[in-house]
Amino acid sequence: DGGITQSPKYLFRKEGQNVTLSCEQNLNHDAMYWYRQDPGQGLRLIYYSQIVNDFQKGDIAEGYSVSREKKESFPLTVTSAQKNPTAFYLCASSYHFGQGGAYEQYFGPGTRLTVT
Partner 1 sequence: GENVEQHPSTLSVQEGDSAVIKCTYSDSASNYFPWYKQELGKRPQLIIDIRSNVGEKKDQRIAVTLNKTAKHFSLHITETQPEDSAVYFCAASRNTGKLIFGQGTTLQVKP
Query: Residue 5 — φ and ψ, nearest 5°?
Result: -125, 150
Taking the complex as a whole, the smallest distance from the CB of residue 31 to partner 1 amounts, in Å, to 5
Q: Please report, as ranges, the residues that interact with partner 1 according to CB under 8 A.
A: 31, 33, 40-45, 48, 50, 58, 90, 94, 96-97, 99-110
- Report, in Å, the least distance between residue 109 CB and partner 1: 5
Q: How far is the CB of 16 from partner 1 (least distance, A)?
A: 28
Judged by CB, which is closer to partner 1: 10, or 84?
A: 10
Burial class (CB in 10 A: 0-12, 13-18, 19+), 89: buried
Nearest-CA neighbor of 73 among 25, 7, 35? 25
User: Which CB sits closer to partner 1, 82 or 111?
Assistant: 111
Determine the Cα–Cα distance for residues 103 and 94; give it in Å rounded to an integer. Answer: 6
Comparing CB distances to partner 1, the nearer of 16 and 101 is 101
- Give the residues across from 77 on adjacent strands: 20, 65
- What is the nearest approach in angstroms of partner 1 to the Cβ of residue 17? 25
Q: What are phi and psi of 72, to 5 degrees?
A: -80, -15
- Looking at the Cβ atoms of 85 and 108, the one nearer to partner 1 is 108
